[in-house]
Amino acid sequence: MKAATARACANIALVKYWGKLDTELNLPATGSLSLTLGALTTTTAVRFNELLAEDTLVLDGRPAPAERLTTWLDLVRAHAHIDTRAEVTSVNDFPTASGLASSASAYAALAVAATAAAGLDMSAQQLSSLARRGSGSAARSLFGGFVEMGETHAEPVDSAADWDIRMLVAVVGGGAPKSVSSRDAMEHCRDTSPLYGAWLDCVPADLAAARNAIAARDLDALGAVMQHSALAMHAAALASRPPVRYWRAATLAVMDAVDAVDGAYYTMDAGPHVKVLTAASGARELVKRLRAIDGVTHVIESGIGGPAELVSAG
């Protein structure tokens, strides 16, 4: 088999991954726990082609730099004992220009497609470990529902098919200075923030609380621990020297709006956008409120997504 196409969903960490144990192997310093989002997907096609001198990448219809891709594909080539270069075409069904993180769904879809195209038969856990080498958060996008990242790979926690919850993604745009990538920011935070150690210390208890809240289908408990994890991560980043501050005025305006609503909880990653966890019943009304906030360019409503899957092969 020389070609394959796969699709994977994005995920949002409820208990964040923020810091590495090993940069070379991209091993996380702590566990993390996420929700896979059905509304944000990446579809990636990989074709190994003997005629190519270099790997090529086309991202949302445009040629893109392939260095990071080549480093990652070298892992697949080593496993498969091949030396063939590949053409990779990747399409996001959400605007990449919006600054929403896409590396999670991208490396998860790539892991499924590239290994299938290279003729490798790997378990979901092995694929998760391979995706981690591209991006830590991508290890979680191999699975659907709630997913927990361990030392090397992620495992599914609960598909939560019976739980009618939504994640609203409020995209904050306009006038934001160029933000620091999560990869660079977490290293800088470890090196310079006096709160980095305290942040790491929070994670085990937050993971346990999140697991319990999921098992009990307790949205308020899950929302509370999700907010705590995000605020602790951002507090550590804010205390770095120089500081890393992702929040814009509209980020805080969304946080204020969410605080005013019962049963809605926020989380933020390495950007100004706010993701809001809420019950499906109140989601539509909340989407309207968030859309009305100055600086919010659009709001995506997502249900729970499924595992990464092979779309076609051969």
* Site stretch for ligand DP6 (CB under 6 A), options 16-24, 55-63, 122-130, 204-212: 16-24
Using CB under 6 A as the binding rule, whether residue 16 contacts ligand DP6 is answered as yes
Using CB under 6 A as the binding rule, whether residue 270 contacts ligand DP6 is answered as yes
Q: Per DSSP, what are the bridge partners of residue 62?
A: 59
From CA 267, how far away is CA 276, in angstroms rounded?
A: 6
Using CB under 6 A as the binding rule, whether residue 267 contacts ligand DP6 is answered as no
- Positive or negative, the CA dihedral 36, 38, 39, 41 is positive
Q: Report residue 172 as tokens.
A: 């904050």
* Site stretch for ligand DP6 (CB under 6 A), options 63-71, 84-92, 130-138, 254-262: 130-138
The secondary element (H helix, E strand) that includes residue 281 is: helix 280-291
**What DSSP line would sit under 92-114, residue for residue?**
ESS-GGGT---HHHHHHHHHHHH
Using CB under 6 A as the binding rule, whether residue 188 contacts ligand DP6 is answered as no
* Site stretch for ligand DP6 (CB under 6 A), options 133-141, 157-165, 258-266, 288-296: 133-141
Using CB under 6 A as the binding rule, whether residue 227 contacts ligand DP6 is answered as no
From CA 12, how far away is CA 269, in angstroms rounded?
A: 8
Shortest Cβ 20–ligand DP6 spacing (Å): 7
| Count of residues in the chain | 314
List binders of ligand DP6 among 54-113 (CB under 6 A): 101, 103
Q: Which is nearer to ligand DP6, 60 or 187 (CB)?
A: 187
Q: Which is nearer to ligand DP6, 164 or 184 (CB)?
A: 184
Q: Which is nearer to ligand DP6, 18 or 48 (CB)?
A: 18
SS3 content of the chain, % helix, strand, coil (to 5): 40, 30, 30
Among 5, 30, 32, 42, interactor with ligand DP6 by CB under 6 A:
32
Amino acid at 135: S
Is the link from the previous residue into 28 a cis peptide, with omega within 30 of 0? Answer: no
From CA 298, how far away is CA 174, in angstroms rounded?
A: 12
Shortest Cβ 238–ligand DP6 spacing (Å): 14
Among 55, 148, 206, 269, interactor with ligand DP6 by CB under 6 A:
269
Shortest Cβ 80–ligand DP6 spacing (Å): 23
Q: Which is nearer to ligand DP6, 135 or 227 (CB)?
A: 135
How many chain residues touch ligand DP6 (CB under 6 A)? 15
If one counts every other C-beta atom within 10 angstroms of the C-beta of residue 236, the result is 26
Shortest Cβ 183–ligand DP6 spacing (Å): 3
Q: Are 263 and 221 in contact (CB under 8 A)?
A: no
Using CB under 6 A as the binding rule, whether residue 26 contacts ligand DP6 is answered as yes
Q: Report residue 211 as tokens.
A: 């697991």
DSSP state letter for 304: B
Give the interface with ligand DP6 as residue ranges (CB under 6 A): 13, 16-18, 26, 32, 101, 103, 135-137, 182-183, 269-270
